[in-house]
Amino acid sequence: MSYKENYYQFPSPAKLNLFLHIVGQRDDGYHELETVFQFLEHGDTLSIKVNQNSKINLLTPIAGVNNDDNLIIKAAKLLQHSAQVNLGAEIKINKILPMGGGLGGGSSNAATVLLALNALWQCHFSYQQLAELGLSLGADVPVFIHGFSAFAQGIGEKLTPISPDECFYLVSKPDCSISTQAVFIAPDLPRNTPKLNVSDIDIEQCHNDCQTLVIKHYSEVAKLLAWLVEYAPSQMTGTGACIFSRFESQAEANRVKSLLPANVESFVAKATNKSPLHSVLTTLCKTINSQ
């Protein structure tokens, strides 16, 4: 049986921003950022099968997201057009990452589709080419394409590999979602944090410039963060609303998870400096090359 007749499963991992500094704003309105991205061994799962009719079908629509606005569909059509392929895809997603949480779920989904279909359609685009395509879909897409933890600059596209400690994290989401756009257009958002040199980064001395603004406007985030810091170093990821708390052991993370209020979504996951997706892609490419 040809590999094109099978569904293949691909992880679409979450990310954390271990800090997020806003160091300026460009003339086009985009913010200049400095952050460290690290992946989690936790995320959505995409199942993808090639079809011969050139149609891109998302068989599991996401509630509240129009298919034409879904980054999964956008990514597939972008690659299809850029590579000028006549094949299509049947796509399913098991969506477990919360929307509006700052975990990069949509960007991760887009990157997974680009990487998976690049292999399945045999487009032979490089990671750099895919990252450039992905950047048009979202500033976080390139780090998921390259698949290594990184110090990111610019709007998030200038990546320098970095290897932070692979801790266990309790990730908690209060009962609210936060618009990234609303955070970045807020007049009282700090935009002048001094720039870092990658060789001088001390993650524990860094912070999230969006956090003060968010806790000022979202009491749910403020209350949960105040509760969590009593148990472990805790900080908001991205523009929120998720908060990550660092633990040395999985058992201790799970213990604190068990104490959380019932209305708080949460999970415990190990950090990893290599995206779980890339191991799956390596295996898939071996399968394709053997046929």
Catalytic site residue 15? Answer: yes
Amino acid present at 91: I
Distance (Å, whole) CA 275 – CA 55: 29
**Nearest alpha-carbon partner for 111 in 241, 240, 289, 281:** 281
Report angle CA 74, 75, 78 to the nearest 5 degrees: 85
Catalytic residue among 49, 74, 95, 140, which?
140
Distance (Å, whole) CA 156 – CA 36: 10
Instruction: Using CB atoms within 10 Å of the CB of residue 122, give its burial: 0 to 12 exposed, 13 to 18 middle, 19+ buried.
Output: middle
| Long-range pairs for 152-159: beta carbons < 8 A, 24 or more residues apart | 152/33, 152/34, 152/35, 152/36, 152/37, 153/32, 153/33, 153/34, 154/32, 154/33, 155/30, 155/31, 155/32, 155/33, 156/33, 156/35, 157/131
Q: φ, ψ for residue 187 (rounded to 5)?
A: -65, -25
DSSP reduced 3-state for 42: strand
Provide the pairing of β-strand 31-51 with 265-272: antiparallel
Distance (Å, whole) CA 140 – CA 107: 6
Distance (Å, whole) CA 163 – CA 111: 21
Tokens 């001395």 sit on residue: 205
DSSP reduced 3-state for 50: strand
Catalytic site residue 68? Answer: no
Query: Could you give the residue numbers annotated as active site?
Result: 15, 140
